[in-house]
Amino acid sequence: MNIVNGFSKLTKQQKINWLVETYFKNDQTVVQLLKLYWNSNEELQKLHDEFIENTITNFYLPMGIAPNFVINGKTYTVPMVIEESSVVAAASNAAKFWSKRGGFKATVLSTEKIGNVHFMFGGSKHNLVQFIEKLQPVFRSRTANITRNMEKRGGGILSIVLKDKTAELKNYYQLHATFDTKDSMGANFINSCLEEFANVLREEVSNFDLFTTEEKESLQIVMSILSNYVPNCLVRAEVSSKISDLKSKEIENPQEFAEKFVQAVRIAEIETYRAVTHNKGIMNGVDAVVLATGNDFRAIEAGVHAFAAKDGKYTSLSHAEIVGDEFRFWMDLPLALGTVGGLTNLHPMVKFAMKLLEKPKADDLMQIIAVAGLAQNFAAIKSLTTTGIQKGHMKMHLMNILNQFNASADEKTAVLQHFAEKTVSHSAVVDFIERLRR
Ligand SMILES: CC(C)(COP(=O)([O-])OP(=O)([O-])OC[C@H]1O[C@@H](n2cnc3c(N)ncnc32)[C@H](O)[C@@H]1OP(=O)([O-])[O-])[C@@H](O)C(=O)NCCC(=O)NCCSC(=O)C[C@@](C)(O)CC(=O)[O-]
Ligand SMILES: NC(=O)C1=CN([C@@H]2O[C@H](COP(=O)(O)OP(=O)(O)OC[C@H]3O[C@@H](n4cnc5c(N)ncnc54)[C@H](O)[C@@H]3O)[C@@H](O)[C@H]2O)C=CC1
C-alpha cells in the first residue's frame, strides 16, 4: 500500500520524485512530461501552482472562440474552453445562423441565491418559531460587518425563514436564507453569513426563556452551507423567426424542419433517456463558457440538473413551439455566476475572456452563457433532425483520429481530400490510412 504521511508538506519537486518512484519505476520521461507542461514564466507557473493543492503540473484544455453571437442586439465573440471537437463549430454555426434572423434575446428573470443552516431540535415547534422570530434582528446585527459592503452594492441578506422538515427527518429544521450577491457567485459571502447565523443559534438558545432545559439541550447545529440549487436565479434565452425565414443550406423545407425540431424537443420533454443527452448538448455550450470565465462548473452542473428534475421527473431544459407561422425556441436556466471573486480576477486567461466579453456584470454573463447553451442545443438538434450528428461531428473529430495515428502532413491532406464529401467514421479513417501506408 502506498500510504504516505506529510505529503502536503513536501516541495513540488519532492512530490514529483515520490510519484515517479512509487508509480512509474523512477521513469524520468514521466518527469520530463510533467515539466513539459510547466509554464516557462516562473511567476505565472507559481500562480497556477497555488490555485489548488499538491500541484505537479498543468493540464491544458483548448480555448476557442465563437464569433457572431448577437444577444439583445449586441454582438459578442464568445470564449469557450472544452475538450470536445465540433462544439465550438456548432456554437459558431448557430450564432451565425441566428445573427441573420434577429439574434438571440436574453432576459434575467431573478437573481436570488440560497443558503441553509441545517439543525436538529427536539422540542415545541411553537417555541422554536418564537425563538427564530426574536433572533431576526440579531441575525442581521451579528452579520453587519459581513454584509456592509454587499449592501452598499445593493445586495445582502434578503430573508431568513424557519423551515420545518420534521415530517421527512425527525427533529430536522433549517434556516432557509436568501441572498443577493450582485456580481459574485456568493459562496463565501453566503457561507460566512450562515456560519454566523449558526453561532447566534448556538449562543442564544440558552438565553431563551420559553425553552425548557431539554429543549435547549436538544438544539444541535449540523451544518451551514449555501445551496447550489438556485431555481430563483434564472435567465431566459430565446430565439424566434418566421418559419419561412429558417430556409438555409441545410434547411430546404422550413415548415418540415420546424415541425421535426419541435417534435425532437417534445421527445426530450417526455423521455428521460433523450432528455439527458439533449441537456448534455446544452451543457456543451454552458460549461465551455463557464470554464472560460473561471466559474464553478460543478456548481452550475449540479444546479442545472436539479432544475431539470424540479417537477419530479428529469426533462428537457429547452422548449420549442410553432405559433401560426412563427417558430419559437427557448430555455430558462438557473445560473449562479460571478464576474468577481473566485478565479475571475486571478487567472490571466479568465481575465482575457472577461475582457473579450467587454467586462460583463454577472447578469450579462448569465445571458451570454444561457445563449451559448441554447445555440449549442439548436445546432445539435438541427444536425440530428437533418444530416444526422455524425456528419458534422466526425468532420471536426477527424483531426483527433489522424493525430492518434501520428499521420504525416501528406497523409492528413490525402485523408481530408478523401473524406471531403463522405461521412467520417473512425474505422473508415483507419482503413484509409492503412491502405495509404501499405
Ligand atoms: C459541425 C457543424 C458546425 C458543421 O456544419 P456545416 O454546415 O458543415 O458548416 P460549414 O462548413 O457550412 O460552415 C458554416 C458555419 O459553421 C461554423 N463552422 C463550421 N465548421 C467550423 C470549423 N471547423 N471551425 C469553426 N467553425 C465552424 C462556422 O460558423 C461556419 O461559418 P464560417 O466561419 O465559415 O463563416 C454542424 O454540423 C453542427 O453544428 N453540428 C452539431 C455538432 C454538435 O452538436 N457537436 C456537439 C458534440 S455532439 C454532442 O455532444 C451532443 C449531442 C449531439 O449528443 C446533443 C444532442 O443529442 O442533442
Ligand atoms: N458549494 C459551492 O458552490 C462552493 C463554492 N465555493 C467556491 O467559492 C468561490 C465563489 O465564491 P464567492 O463568494 O463568489 O467569491 P469570493 O469570496 O472570492 O469573492 C466575492 C467577494 O467579492 C467582493 N466583491 C467585490 N465587488 C463585488 C461586486 N460587484 N459584487 C459582489 N461582490 C463583490 C465581495 O466581498 C464578495 O463577497 C468559487 O471559487 C467556488 O468554487 C466555495 C465553497 C462552496
pLDDT tens, position by position, 408-417: 999 999 998 9
Measure 385 CA to ligand 1 centroid, in angstroms: 14
396 lines ligand 1 (CB under 6 A): yes
Whole-number pLDDT of residue 393: 77
Architecture of domain 113-227 in CATH? 2-Layer Sandwich (3.30)
Provide the pLDDT for residue 130: 98
Specify whether the CB–CB gap between 172 and 116 falls below 8 A.
Answer: no
User: 399 is written with which cell numbers?
Assistant: 483531426
Please identify, by atom number, the ligand 2 atom nearest to the C-alpha of residue 338.
Answer: 14
Nearest atom, ligand 2, residue 183 CA: 30
The confidence score (pLDDT) of residue 388 equals 87
Boundaries of every domain in the chain: 7-49, 64-107+234-386, 113-227, 393-437
Per-residue pLDDT tens digits for 98-126: 999 999 999 999 999 999 999 999 999 99
| Listed range (51-55, 301-305, 428-432) with the worst mean pLDDT | 428-432
**Does any ligand 2 atom lie closer than 6 A to the CB of residue 187?**
yes
Q: Which ligand is nearest to the CA of 149?
A: 2
Residue 398's alpha-carbon distances to 114, 392, 425, in angstroms, are: 44, 10, 8
Q: Is 293 in the pocket of ligand 1 (CB under 6 A)?
A: no
Within 13 Å and on the Cβ side, how many CA atoms surround 425? 4
Instruction: Give tens-digit pLDDT for 187-246.
Output: 999 999 999 999 999 999 999 999 999 999 999 999 999 999 999 999 999 999 999 999
In angstroms, the Cα distances linking 4 to 9, 31, 72, 319 are 11, 20, 55, 52
Looking at the domain that runs over 64-107+234-386, which CATH code has it been given?
Answer: 3.90.770.10
- State the amino acid at position 307 in one-letter form: F
> What CA–CA distance (Å, rounded) separates 18 from 419?
47
pLDDT of residue 284: 98
Atom of ligand 1 nearest to the CA of 376: 44
- Does the pLDDT value for residue 392 go beyond 80? no
Which atom of ligand 2 lies nearest, measured to the CA of 299? 3
390 falls in which pLDDT band (50, 70, 90)?
confident
Q: Please, are residues 20 and 26 in contact by the beta-carbon 8 Å criterion?
A: yes
CB 304 within 8 A of CB 317: yes
- 153 CB under 6 A from ligand 2? yes
From the alpha carbon of 90, which atom of ligand 1 is closest? Answer: 39
How far is 87 from 424, CA to CA, in rounded Å? Answer: 17
- pLDDT tens digit sequence for 331-375: 999 999 999 998 898 999 999 999 999 999 999 999 999 999 999
ipTM of the predicted structure? 0.94
The least confident of 28-32, 105-109, 362-366, 387-391 is 387-391
Angle between helices 28-36 and 12-23 (to 10 degrees): 140
Q: What are the residues facing 221 on neighbouring strands?
A: 119
| SS3 track for the chain | CCCCCCHHHCCHHHHHHHHHHHHCCCCHHHHHHHHHCCCCCHHHHHHHHCCCCCCCCCCCCCEEEEEEEEECCEEEEEEEECCCCCHHHHHHHHHHHHHCCCCEEEEECCCCEEEEEEEECCCCHHHHHHHHHHHHHHHHHHCHHHHHHHHHCCCEEEEEEEEECCCCCCCEEEEEEEEECCCECCHHHHHHHHHHHHHHHHHHHHHCCCCCHHHHHHCEEEEEEEECCCCCCEEEEEEEEEHHHHCCCCCCCHHHHHHHHHHHHHHHHHCHHHHHHHHHHHHHHHHHHHHHCCCCHHHHHHHHHHHHCCCCCCCCCEEEEEECCEEEEEEEEECCCCCECCCCCCCHHHHHHHHHCCCCCHHHHHHHHHHHHHHHHHHHHHHHHCCCHHHHHHHHHHHHHHHHCCCCHHHHHHHHHHCCCCCCCHHHHHHHHHHHHC
pLDDT higher for 404 or 62?
Answer: 62
396 Cα: distance to centroid of ligand 1 (angstroms) = 8
* Ligand 2 site-directed mutation target among 111, 184, 190, most atoms within 8 Å of CB: 184
What is the pLDDT confidence band of residue 400, given thresholds at 50, 70 and 90?
A: confident
- When pLDDT is averaged across residues 169-181 and rounded to a whole number, the result is 98
Predicted pLDDT at 425: 87
Per DSSP bridges, beta strands 318-323 and 220-227 are unpaired
Give the per-residue pLDDT at 150. 98
Residue 45 has pLDDT above 80, yes or no: yes
pLDDT at residue number 334: 98
> Which ligand sits closest to the CA of 300?
2
1 has a pLDDT exceeding 90: no
Q: What is the pLDDT of residues 275-296, one digit of tens each?
A: 999 999 999 999 999 999 999 9
